[in-house]
Amino acid sequence: MKRIYVILLAISGGFAQALSSQALSSQVMIRVNNGVGISSLKGRDGIFGDVITPYTFSLGADYLNGRYWGLSSDVSFMGIGGMEKVWYASDAGMLPGVETKVREKSNFVQLNTTFRVKSSRTLQALYLGLGPSLSLRVSNGKFKRMLTGYDVARLLYGLKAEVGINGCLTGRWHAGINAGYIHNFNRFARSLGGGDTFRSSVFTCTLMLGYAF
């Protein structure tokens, strides 16, 4: 719980620092990002260590632009989980088995705010960003396929790192590419007995379309 408070304080501190600056741009860009997540799990015996690539979507804004920095906030929908390849033997026992891909995935709504260092004061820029993230589970909280007796965390908290580039299409319309990595501090899932746990690894790659005011 203390880590959650630290993350919320970091968000508030970023806002306060931005508001105290004397050289802010009035430009605000509202944007939509669409793409894929690249997610896997790390746990007992490497189970569910293969990646899945669920669709990810976000609605966000870039604002409080300084000379070479700015703030960016997003509300995202994404799936987090992993995949395991399982071989089932044939009934005869002599014939080749059948490979089945077993996926475990839960859906999350993620909130994040990143502090960006940019190559230009304008919205057309290369940038690097880092900031806190909170992910709230909005789907089933149990493993459903190969393993049973595991609870998926209701809330994941951690840090998001990102890199990207934005460019102007025409007038106020902008487009860009963004790649991100989300490191969650707490465990993705835990067995009911508390002995076995899974941690998540999440990368994202999205295309952005935005409108600047």
Of 197 and 135, the one with more pLDDT: 135
Domain that residue 40 falls in: 2-212
| Percent over 70 (pLDDT), the chain | 80
Residues 54-65: b if buried by 16+ CB within 10 A, e if exposed: bebebebbbbbb
Helix H or strand E segment including 85: strand 69-88
Which residues lie closer than 8 Å to 6 by C-beta, 6 or more apart? none
Q: Please give the pLDDT value at position 152.
A: 92
SS3 for 47?
Answer: coil
Count of domains for the chain: 1
**Rounded to an integer, what is the distance from CA 153 to the centroid of its chain?**
15
Tell me: pLDDT of 16 over 50: no
Mean of pLDDT values over 150-159: 94
Tell me: pLDDT of 26 over 80: no
d(CA 87, CA 84): 10
Instruction: Note whether 38 and 204 are within 8 A (CB).
Output: yes
Q: Please give the pLDDT value at position 142.
A: 84
CATH number at residue 207: 2.40.160.20
Residues 122-131 have pLDDT tens digits of 888 999 999 9
Read off the pTM.
0.81
Instruction: Note whether 165 and 191 are within 8 A (CB).
Output: no
Mean of pLDDT values over 178-184: 97
Mean of pLDDT values over 117-136: 93
